[in-house]
Structures are given as C-alpha cells and as structure tokens.
Structure 1
Amino acid sequence: MGDKISLPPGLKFFPTDEDLVLHYLYRKVKLLPCYSDFIAEIDLHSYNPWELPGKASGGSKEWYFYSQKPRNYRKNSIKYRPAASGHWRVTGMDEPISNGSTIVGCKRSLVFYTGKAPSGTKTDWVMDEYSLLESTTRECKKRGSSRTVSGDWVLCRIKERGLHSEMKCEEDDDDEGTELSAMDEIFFSLADDFDEITSPINQQFAAAFLH
C-alpha cells in the first residue's frame, strides 16, 4: 500500500469514468488481470482526506483508491459516509456509467465535512465514488464465487478543489510571465526580415534590380 508507481516520461494516469468502472473496478471484483499497481487498496473511511495523498500509489492532483463501504452504509440510499474526524456527504444525482448501451455502474459525488453528520463544516475535499450496479455485482458472484472478491467494493477518486484552482493560476502566471530569450529575439527579428524580403512588393523591386 502506498508504493509509488513510475510511469514512462510524458505519460500520466488520467482514466475516464468508463475506464475506472470497466477496466479497474469490474476486473477487480472479477479477479481478472488489471493494472493493480495504479490504485491502492485502503479502508478509506478510517482517514481524513488530507491524509490520503501520501497513501496513494501516485498522483499530484487526484488520488485513486479501492475501498469497501462500511457494512452499515452499503445501501444506496445512505447519504453520509463516516470518516476519521468527519463524514462524506452525497451531493447531486448519481451519474450512470455505460458500456455501449448497457449501464454497468454509476458515479456518485461526495463532499467532505468535518464534524458529525448531519451537521458539520464543509471543506474543499471532494470524492467521486464509482460502484457497480447491484445486478452487475450479482452476475459476477453468480458466475463463480471463486472468481470474485467479497464485500461491496467501490473505486474512489479524491481531489481538493482549492488545490486545482491554485495550480491553474500558477500555470497561467507562468505563461504570462514568460520572457523571450536572446536567441528567440534574434529568430523573430530574422523572421520579420524574411517576411519583408519575400513580400510581393519587395520581390518586384528585387527582380527589377537584378535585371
């Protein structure tokens, strides 16, 4: 747990919602081969969200985990999920995840609140929780219990909204503050001279001069 993965230069782990459900969560439940090193397995509800980045397999803006819902919170109607010093609160409507025309899972958005539910203080920590449909889970178990893992597994993506805004501002500031090097200035100067020489009017003067 928490072992850092190493990707080739230029590659980043940015899976789509469909990738997470079909190629990671479903394959984990079915005990099929998958890229297990990319997503750590933890008891998500034993930690505060700011403790999770150090336990992830990688990532600097988003962190991914496999986790199981606590037994008392496995019903889809439960709005609150316990955590170390607060709780995760479900927001909005579930978003279906499809494989072609077949819905196989859903994405649920949650926000972390410090303090005990249903009160508490809202934070900038958010979570996307991916789960398989109950029919899909039953199908996996029906095909052979020796080929499935027990429990109600979910795949979670954790991020901090304020962190994303700060990183975006820093990137914009870097772009605005970029200065031309001496070689860049020489290049653009030569490019301007070339444009002047190759313009139609200057070409006419050059042709008349040569003749």
Structure 2
Amino acid sequence: MEKLPGFRFSPTEYELVGYYLRKMAEEKELGVELIAVIDLVKHDPWELPDLAISLAHMGDTEWYFFVPRQHKYPNGSRPNRVTPSGYWKATGTDKPVMDKESNTSIGLRKTLVFYKGKAPKGEKTPWIMSEYRLPDEQNAQFKVL
C-alpha cells in the first residue's frame, strides 16, 4: 500500500490497546489495513521492516504488528519468543496501559530485548520491542508489537 501524503500512524498506547488490539481480538474490521499479522518466531528483528505495512511505518525505527500468542510448551503459559537467530527476553515488569477517563487498566505493556544466540548465553543487541496485550482474564489470542 502506498503512503498517504500527510498521514502519520502514531497511536498512543491507549489507542493501540483500547482500539486496534481490542478490535483484532474481537475479530472486528478496522476499515483499513494498518497493522500486519505476522508469526514473530519465524523472523529475526532485522527482517521486520520489510514485513510492516507501509502506512504503519513511523520512520525507520518503529513498526507495528499483530502477533498471535504462541506458547513455548503445549500445556504451558510461557510465551515462545525464540527466533531463527536468537530470542526476545523480557526486561522489567509489566506496565499497565491506563484509560485516563476511568483510571483503569485496559492492557499491559512489556519491554523485550533481542539476544543473538541461545539462552541464557545470548549476546544482547540494540533491538528493543514493546509488547502490548489485553489483560489475561479476557483470554486474548493476539498481542500488538
């Protein structure tokens, strides 16, 4: 898709979770394709720019994707974040995404750093990703990165 003159896709965290991710989880149409659905574990971070929908590019440093949740083990709850060349490692704790009007949490944000190689001896890289997801009790099957 060609870029629209003057269009900037620059959603707030509230908009990413409360609008885009919620609609995706509820299988509702957005009206325009802005965020690609990808299988993150099949791609290393340097491949991601080519997978993003051009309207959702924010320069050369930010891209947005919907990623179906995958678990490391069939009956487990740990997410699978291993890629062909390394893995995404969570840093810190989940941060709530707040609805400013009701002062309630509508989702969570987690920061991930990419490491080349196999855990736990991977080499830290400058690739950083923010993962947004709906609260667990809503049984969300997608997250937005």
TM range (shorter): 0.7 to 0.9
Distance 2:132 2:63 in 1: 13
The CA deviation at 1:134 is: 1.4
Distance 1:22 1:33 in 2: 14
Gaps of 5+ in 1: 138-150, 157-211
Distance 1:34 1:127 in 2: 23
The answer to whether the 8 A contact 1:130-1:155 is kept is yes
Q: Identify which of 113, 116, 123 aligns with 2:115.
A: 113
RMSD: 2.0
Q: TM-score, normalised by structure 2?
A: 0.85
* Cα distance change of structure 1 residues 35 and 16 upon mapping to structure 2, 3 Å threshold: farther
Figure out how many residues of one structure are paired with residues of the other and give that number.
137
Larger helix proportion of the pair: 1
Larger strand proportion of the pair: 2
> Which letter does structure 2 place at the counterpart of 1:85?
S
> Which letter does structure 2 place at the counterpart of 1:92?
G
The answer to whether the 8 A contact 2:69-2:143 is kept is yes
1:72 paired residue number: 72
Distance 1:71 1:22 in 2: 24
Q: How does 1:13-92 map to 2 (within 5 A)?
A: 13-35=9-31, 37-58=33-54, 59=57, 60=59, 61-72=61-72, 75=77, 78=78, 81-92=81-92
Helix, strand or coil: the match of 1:52?
Answer: helix
1:126 paired residue number: 128
% of aligned pairs identical? 38
Gaps of 5+ in 2: none
> Which letter does structure 2 place at the counterpart of 1:67?
V
Q: Identify which of 133, 142, 145 aligns with 1:153.
A: 142
* Cα distance change of structure 1 residues 80 and 71 upon mapping to structure 2, 3 Å threshold: closer
Helix, strand or coil: the match of 1:81?
Answer: coil
For residues 8-37 of structure 1, give each alpha carbon's deviation from its aligned partner in whole angstroms, at most 9, with x where no partner exists.
x22211111111001111111112232551
Higher relative contact order (CA 8 A, sep 6+): 2
The structure number with the bigger radius of gyration is: 1
Distance 1:80 1:118 in 2: 15
For residues 63-95 of structure 1, give each alpha carbon's deviation from its aligned partner in whole angstroms, at most 9, with x where no partner exists.
1111123222673xx487211110000001211
Distance 1:25 1:106 in 2: 11
Q: TM-score, normalised by structure 1?
A: 0.60
Distance 1:5 1:21 in 2: 25
